[in-house]
Amino acid sequence: MGAYIAKRLLAAIPVLFGLTIIVFLIMAMIPGDPATAILGSYATPENVAKLNRDLGLDKSLPEQYVIWLGNLFQGDLGRSYSLNRPVLDEVLERFSATLILAGTALVLCSVFGLLAGIVSAVRQYGWADKIITLLVLMGISTPSFFLGLLLILVFAVKLRLFPASGMYAIYGGGDLPDLFHHLTLPALTLSVVATGVVARLTRTAMLEVLRQDYIRTARAKGLPERKVICKHAFKSAFVSVVPVIGIQAGFVIGGAVYIETVFQWPGIGSMLVKAIATRDLLLVQGGVLVVAAAYVLFNLLADVVQTLIDPRLR
């Protein structure tokens, strides 16, 4: 077991290296002169030359990569031109806000998605199944940024139940209840699509499992149906849904870009959008790298959870 986890961790290292290469190459592929791109078209030739030297852009691509990677290991992702502070500081600060939002959405989508999928499978072709199926389809088809606007209109503007934006109240906020108050709408919005995906796959997985011989064995033992569904069938279905939840982590973190913009959540998504608009490419690079690394770790976690449940994978 421990050996397996260690093996998985080791296997994640090349993936992380691959990420650094892709992120590095994306930035290296900027059309035209990167220094000009960073500094803008009004930069003086001296400044461009200085920046090229500073960034090591006068060296070959592999050399640049090694230098960049070396800096990365020392926690140096460069300096944001628009914010005038180290990229790493800004990214980590923003990322914690995104983690709170995405983590909550992930919990919501797991709980509701699994529940809806189980109910849907157990009541196959019944009313509950039809309603859930339709809701799931609507959820998957709704643009999350539009849903966010609608929720703001209804719950923030009309009903005044939740704040429309931000992470904490400007005056007198800052505690946990305040955070949850601000978190409710964006986390719900963010979880809708993922909930739909999880519910769909749970339903299919449950239907597949319920046809297995070992379910017949459980019934032949005289187990109550509740136990057949919740213990025997669910455990198997869960094993196949866990990696899907891992993948949903990626969609949730990615989807946070929209939701953070709509709800002005001070996370990494809204930072990226601003950074792209201001062409602060080092900030974009740092943000993308951290989020992608987090995604790899999420999937690793899903792998480990799956192995913990399924002894055949060890």
Partner 1 sequence: MTNAAISGKGRQAGKSARPGTLSLLLNNTLATAGLIILIAVCLLALAAPVLPLLNPDVTAPANRLLPIFSAGHLLGTDHLGRDLLSRLIWGTRVSLAVGVSATIIAAVFGSVLGLVAGYAGGRTDTVIMRGIDMVMAFPYILLALAIVAVLGPGLLNALYAIALVNIPFFARNIRGITLGLSRREFVDAARLSGKSPAQILFVEILPNVLPVIVITMSTTVGWMILETAGLSFLGLGAQPPQADLGSMLGEGRKILFTAPHVSIVPGVMIFVLVMAINLLGDGVRDILDPRLRAGSLTRPVARTAVLRNPADVPAPSGDENILDVRRLRTEFQIGGTVYHAVGGVDLALRQGECLGIVGESGSGKSVTAMSIMGLVPTPPGRIAGGAAYLEGEDLFAASDRRIRDLRGGSVAYVFQDPLSTLHPLFTVGNQLEEAIRTHQPLSRAQTRQKAIELLSLVRIPNPKERLTAYPHELSGGMRQRICIAMALANDARVLIADEPTTALDVTVQSQILTLMNGLRRERNAAILFITHDFGVVSAICDRIAVMYAGRIVETGKTDDILANPQHPYTAKLIECVPVLGEPERRLDAIEGRPPVVNDLPDGCAFADRCPHAQSLCRTGDIELVAAGANRSVRCLFPVNTDPST
- Residue 224 as a binder of partner 1 (CB under 8 A): the answer is yes
Q: What share of the chain is helix, strand, coil (3-state, %, to 5)?
A: 80, 0, 20
Query: Among 251, 312, 263, which Cα is nearest to 102's?
Result: 251
Q: What three-state secondary structure class fits 75?
A: coil
CA angle 65, 70, 71 (to 5 degrees): 100
DSSP state of 84: T
Q: Please tell me the count of residues contacting partner 1 according to CB under 8 A.
A: 85
Give the nearer residue to partner 1 in terms of CB position, either 103 or 179. 103
- Residue 42 as a binder of partner 1 (CB under 8 A): the answer is no
- Residue 199 as a binder of partner 1 (CB under 8 A): the answer is no
Interface residue with partner 1, options 67, 69, 161, 309 (CB under 8 A):
309
φ and ψ at residue 204, rounded to 5 degrees: -60, -45
Q: Which of residues 101-160 bind partner 1 (CB under 8 A)?
A: 121-122, 124-125, 129-130, 133, 136-138, 140-143, 145-146, 149-150, 152-153, 157
Cβ atoms 8, 277 nearer than 8 A: no
Interface residue with partner 1, options 187, 228, 271, 302 (CB under 8 A):
228
CA–CA distance, 22 with 28 (Å, rounded to integer): 10
Residue range at the interface with partner 1 (CB under 8 A); choices 79-87, 108-116, 181-189, 224-232: 224-232
- Residue 162 as a binder of partner 1 (CB under 8 A): the answer is no
Provide the mask over 250-289, with x wherever binding to partner 1 is found by CB under 8 A and - wherever it is not.
Answer: xx-xxx-xx--xx---------xx-xxx---x--x---x-
CA distances from 280 to 168, 210, 283 (A): 27, 53, 6
Residue range at the interface with partner 1 (CB under 8 A); choices 16-24, 62-70, 87-95, 107-115: 16-24
Tokens of 196: 């739909």
Tokens of 240: 């196949």
Interface residue with partner 1, options 24, 203, 263, 303 (CB under 8 A):
203
CA distances from 308 to 50, 229, 233, 284, 311 (A): 53, 20, 17, 36, 7
- Residue 89 as a binder of partner 1 (CB under 8 A): the answer is no
Instruction: Write down the least CB distance from residue 70 to partner 1, Å.
Output: 21
Instruction: Write down the least CB distance from residue 169 to partner 1, Å.
Output: 19
- Residue 295 as a binder of partner 1 (CB under 8 A): the answer is yes
